[in-house]
Amino acid sequence: MRVDYRMEYVFYGILLLAAVAFPFFATNEYQVYVMALAFIWAISAMGLNLIAGYTGQLNLAHAGFMAIGAYTVGLLTVDYGVPFWLAFLLAGPIAAVVGFFAGILSLRLKTHFFSIFTLCVGYIIYLLIEKGDSFTHGPVGVIGIPAPSIGPLVFDTTTSVYFLVLAFLVLTIWVMRRLVRSIVGRSFVAIRNSDDLAEALGINLMRTKVLAFTLSTFIAGLSGGLFAGFVRFLGPDLAREYHTFDLIAFVLVGGIGTLMGPVLGAVALTWVTQSLQFLENYRMIVFGPMLILLVMFFPHGIIGTFGIWMARRRANAGKRSNTQAVLPSRSGEEARANA
């Protein structure tokens, strides 16, 4: 067990080093920009993974909650002159409050009924933003969001915002790791596994699902706040369902219900999309089949498949060293009853 953890820390250490070194090896600023944006989507995807991957409730309104966080920052800073950091601190909580109420309503439904309902919730969020001209700037969007700054420290270059986003990504991974490995996270997984069994084990379904849902919308709001500070322009389209579908693709490719799956998926798919850019709209001809093949042959995603392989290897190693097999003993009474 100890050795496993050490290997894991080495793995995280290498990833972090690579992420820190990336801007210095990038050949142009655009690459840094793309990576930072991928990280923001990765944070959002981790939120979606919490409710869809770990808890098994596919929330199709996720991009809507991301938009709520983004618009919290955008509107407060541009229209009300609130300092960026104060607005940013509110992005997660406001998305979570909306998420809480959306959650207690929508989580009364199960499986695909829940997903369809949340699809509507997401669309309603989009419509409210798009039609609420006087409050949200409607289809024009929010322009001129100030760059994030702490006192004299202003994150106005691409590289500086990259590190800011990276810091939040690391923080999210760190909190998520603690959460999903705890018994709280295990009760989420128990619900994904089987509602009935989880409930029979004494887990309050509604309370636990609402907790996971609210938390996932908090993370969505946080990533939205970062998005607003990074892109510094917002349109209502951010709330659209196709962004949720992108997030689902990130989660599936990387590994649904795994800690690092969404991060890997977001980064990998972003770069694949970038490298297929020269094909313009024909890139979907390459992209679509790639996704289908991946889901067909690696239904657990990249990290999930690797994790299962590792677990099997470990179990087999354990079996070899542990030769004692406990066989169920037979009793004569049953044998007599059979006779």
CA distances 206 to 100, 112, 119, 152, 210, Å, are: 12, 17, 20, 46, 6
Nearer to other proteins, 152 or 202 (CB): 202
220 touches 96 (CB < 8 A): no
Shortest distance, position 58 Cβ to other proteins, whole Å = 17
| Helices 261-275 & 29-48 angle (0-180, nearest 10) | 140
- What's the 3-state SS for 84-107? HHHHHHHHHHHHHHHHHHHHHHHC
User: Which is closer to other proteins, CB of 47 or CB of 122?
Assistant: 47
Least CB distance to other proteins at residue 326 (A): 5
Q: Closer to other proteins by CB, 106 or 258: give it.
A: 258
DSSP-derived secondary structure for 149-163? EETTEE--SHHHHHH
Distance CA 263, CA 122 (A): 23
- For residues 238 and 55, the answer to whether their CB atoms sit within 8 Å is no
Residue 46 — left, alpha, or beta (φ > 0 → left; ψ -120 to 50 → alpha)?
alpha
Closest approach, Cβ 285 to other proteins, in A, equals 32
Structure-block tokens of residue 66: 């991301």
**Binding site residues, other proteins, CB under 8 A:** 175, 178-179, 182-187, 189-190, 192-194, 196-205, 211, 215, 257, 300, 304, 307-308, 311-312, 314-315, 318-319, 322, 324-326, 328-331, 333-338
For the bound state, the minimum distance from the C-beta of residue 116 to other proteins, rounded and expressed in Å, comes to 24
- Toward other proteins, which CB reaches closer, 199 or 237? 199
Count of beta carbons in the 10 Å neighbourhood of residue 335: 9
d(CA 137, CA 131): 9
Q: By C-beta, is 131 or 319 nearer to other proteins?
A: 319
Min dist. Cβ of residue 154 to other proteins (A): 30
For residues 264 and 252, is the Cβ–Cβ distance under 8 A? Answer: no
Nearer to other proteins, 193 or 275 (CB): 193
How far is 237 from 70, CA to CA, in rounded Å? 12
Q: Provide the minimum distance between the beta carbon of 54 and other proteins in the complex, in angstroms, as a whole number.
A: 11
Task: Report, in Å, the least distance between residue 34 CB and other proteins.
Answer: 31
SS3 233: strand
CB of 126 to other proteins, least distance (A): 29
* Choice between 3 and 183, CB closer to other proteins: 183
Residues with Cβ < 8 Å from 266, sequence gap 6 or more? 38, 39, 41, 42, 45, 250, 254
Query: Cβ closer to other proteins: 285 or 311?
Result: 311
